[in-house]
């Protein structure tokens, strides 16, 4: 019974944190939408001013688009639902949620249709390089196929999923990505978009199958840094002597 109670409490905490992740993602997404809507208004004004009226009317008529209701609706959570740990978790989300991409499952191979500036900064790819590609381009030789399969299965079933896996930047350097993928659904329950929130971390959490692998990599990196410092020490000593 004690184990069942602990499992229920853990599941309750995970469910609440999933709601928090979605809340902060939607806040960032809605801010991005508001910014894009402002740019859209300015572009329409330029079209109306610079093009002949017949052409402008035709162009503007094709630019009418309704945003999905799931983007417009309120996803706020009452403050009474927060615990102290939730508040700390939410604070970290405020900084990490700016790094995300949106993919469209209605298009072939579910390509990225939007990448935030934070996503581009972490991965090294600019917007033009990321758009139109499936997120698998961040995978590399050290990426766990088991975790990729876990992601694929959850996405196929429209389930939210969180996993920490090794990804690669544009220059080939690896980084540990605490990835959270949420599925956005319309009122009919159909998945309209997938949201991938990228958070660079030191490594997988304890208990993760790759935890030991990450610890070993950190130790090897530390040794390499120490060797570089040892090699540089005589050179630095000579520099100091020259200035004495």
pLDDT tens digit string along 223-232? 555 565 666 5
Query: What's the token pair of residue 155?
Result: 């996405």
Looking at residue 103, its pLDDT comes to 92
Is residue 123 within 8 A of residue 130, CB to CB? The reply is yes
Q: Which residues of 42-57 are buried (b: 16+ CB within 10 A; e: fewer)?
A: eeeeeeeeeeeeeebe
Straight-line distance from the first to the last Cα atom of the chain, in angstroms, rounded to the nearest whole number: 73
Helix (H, G, I), strand (E, B) or coil at 113: strand
Output the average pLDDT for the chain.
77
Looking at residue 79, its pLDDT comes to 44
What distance in Å separates the CA atoms of residue 95 and residue 27, rounded to the nearest whole number? Answer: 12
Helix extents (H) in the chain:
2-50, 53-61, 69-72, 84-96, 117-123, 127-130, 145-156, 211-243
Range from 35-39, 88-92, 144-148 that averages highest in pLDDT: 144-148
| pLDDT tens profile 154-206 | 999 988 899 999 999 999 999 999 998 988 887 788 888 888 889 899 899 88
Query: What's the token pair of residue 170?
Result: 């544009």
């Amino acid at each position: 019974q004690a184990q069942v109670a602990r499992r229920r409490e853990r599941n309750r905490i995970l469910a609440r944190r999933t709601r928090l992740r979605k809340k902060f993602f939607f806040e960032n997404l809605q801010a991005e939408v508001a910014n894009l809507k402002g740019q859209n208004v300015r572009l329409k004004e330029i079209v109306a001013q610079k093009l002949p009226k017949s052409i402008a009317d035709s162009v503007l008529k094709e630019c009418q688009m309704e945003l999905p209701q799931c983007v417009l609706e309120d996803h706020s959570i009452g403050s009474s639902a927060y615990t102290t740990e939730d508040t700390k978790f939410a604070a970290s989300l405020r900084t990490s949620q700016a790094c995300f991409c949106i993919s469209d499952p209605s298009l072939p191979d579910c390509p990225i249709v939007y990448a935030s500036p934070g996503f581009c900064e972490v991965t090294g790819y600019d917007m033009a390089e990321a758009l139109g590609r499936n997120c698998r381009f961040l995978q590399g030789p050290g990426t766990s196929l088991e975790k990729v399969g876990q992601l694929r299965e959850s996405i196929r079933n429209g389930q939210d999923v969180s996993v920490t896996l090794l990804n690669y930047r544009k220059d080939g350097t690896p980084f540990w990505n605490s990835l959270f993928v949420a599925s956005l659904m319309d009122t009919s329950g159909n998945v309209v978009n997938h949201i991938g929130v990228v958070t660079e971390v030191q490594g997988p959490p304890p208990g993760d199958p790759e935890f030991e692998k990450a610890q070993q990599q950190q130790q090897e990196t530390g040794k390499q840094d120490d060797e570089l410092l040892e090699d540089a020490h005589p050179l630095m000593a000579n520099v100091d002597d020259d200035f004495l």
